């Protein structure tokens, strides 16, 4: 089985794929001080509880936007799983070009989203990723990554609002029952939810205008299913898109693996 590790700014997702389907996925908060032994005690217990065996993990790939976390994640693979992980970086063969000014500045998560979206859905398209930041990743009709836009993430905006305004409470993200909030919490939830729906629709419409062609719009990230309820903009909601990008990248860089067919 393949272990994929997607280390983001807020959470790290570990998932295993048996070549046909995802067999398990587990999430832990990102902490660059967490050691490989701590990861192992947590992850191996979860793998075992899922009816799988850590011995079945024969390959691994790590993608991270938190460089400080890489050392211990790599040690986890080497010392506890006895595999040498691939690292998602520019040294690997990605299979598609980057039409941007500075390719080294493009976050690996954005490149993985572009890789998986192009493979499964074909360009031209834009991927909206509701993560720590809300990112818009554009792939043209030739399959090249063309850049996009980056906005503050939903939870980041929510926390900033609570921290900056003394009388505003900390609330959870959710779709409000009405746009007009008759108390502070509902008013905040309305502003956050419908504000982000408007942000996404507005940026995507401008991207489509600049591309001058109809585009597919793909949503991913933990909050994608929630925000897809507020708009008919998205043709596909793909919660595992970044994980699939890692899986495709591993297959492309392993001579013994076949790249999965689209669909």
Helices and strands: H and E segment counts in the chain: 7, 10
The answer to whether 12 is a known ligand-binding residue is yes
The answer to whether 109 is a known ligand-binding residue is yes
Residue 3 CA to chain centroid, in angstroms?
16
The answer to whether 6 is a known ligand-binding residue is yes
Given a contact cutoff of 8 angstroms between Cβ atoms, the answer to whether 148 and 138 are in contact is yes
Q: Could you count the other beta carbons within 10 Å of the beta carbon of residue 183? A: 8
Which residues neighbour 142 within 8 Å (Cβ) at sequence distance 6 or greater? Answer: 123
Task: Give the chain's end-to-end CA distance (angstroms, integer).
Answer: 21
Catalytic site includes residue 140: no
Given a contact cutoff of 8 angstroms between Cβ atoms, the answer to whether 115 and 245 are in contact is yes
The answer to whether 184 is a known ligand-binding residue is yes
The answer to whether 181 is a known ligand-binding residue is no
Q: What is the enclosing helix (H) or strand (E) of 129? A: strand 125-130
Q: Could you count the other beta carbons within 10 Å of the beta carbon of residue 18? A: 12
Count of alpha carbons within 13 angstroms of residue 2, beta-carbon side: 24
The answer to whether 195 is a known ligand-binding residue is no
The answer to whether 10 is a known ligand-binding residue is yes
The answer to whether 9 is a known ligand-binding residue is yes
The answer to whether 122 is a known ligand-binding residue is no
Catalytic pick among 82, 101, 109, 232: 109
What is the C-alpha separation between 128 and 218, in angstroms, rounded? 6
User: Beta partners for 138?
Assistant: 126, 147
Q: Which residue has tokens 């818009």?
A: 136
The answer to whether 206 is a known ligand-binding residue is no
The answer to whether 8 is a known ligand-binding residue is yes
Binding residues, as ranges, are 6-13, 107-110, 129, 132, 184
Which residues are marked as active site? 109
């Amino acid at each position: 089985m393949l272990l994929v590790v997607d280390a983001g700014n807020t959470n790290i997702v570990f998932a295993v794929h048996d070549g046909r389907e995802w067999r398990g996925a587990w999430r832990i908060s990102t902490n660059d001080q967490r050691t490989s032994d701590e990861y192992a005690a947590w992850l191996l217990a979860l793998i075992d509880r899922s009816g799988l065996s850590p011995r079945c993990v024969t390959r691994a790939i790590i993608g991270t936007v938190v460089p400080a976390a890489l050392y211990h994640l790599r040690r986890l693979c080497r010392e506890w799983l006895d595999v040498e992980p691939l690292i998602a970086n520019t040294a690997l063969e990605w299979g598609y070009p980057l039409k941007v000014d500075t390719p080294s500045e493009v976050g690996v998560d954005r490149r993985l989203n572009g890789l998986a979206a192009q493979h499964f859905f074909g360009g031209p398209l834009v991927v909206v990723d509701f993560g720590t930041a809300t990112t818009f990743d554009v792939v043209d009709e030739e399959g090249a990554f063309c850049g996009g836009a980056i906005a503050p993430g939903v939870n980041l905006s929510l926390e900033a609002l609570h921290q900056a305004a003394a009388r505003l409470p900390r609330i959870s993200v959710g779709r409000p029952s009405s746009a007009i909030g008759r108390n502070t919490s509902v008013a905040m939830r309305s502003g956050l939810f419908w504000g982000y729906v408007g942000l996404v629709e507005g940026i995507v419409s401008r991207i489509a205008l600049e591309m001058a062609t109809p585009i597919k719009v793909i949503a991913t990230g933990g909050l994608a299913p929630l925000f897809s309820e507020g708009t008919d903009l998205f043709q596909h909601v793909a919660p595992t898109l970044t994980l699939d990008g890692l899986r495709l990248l591993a297959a492309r860089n392993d001579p013994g693996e076949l790249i999965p067919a689209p669909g």
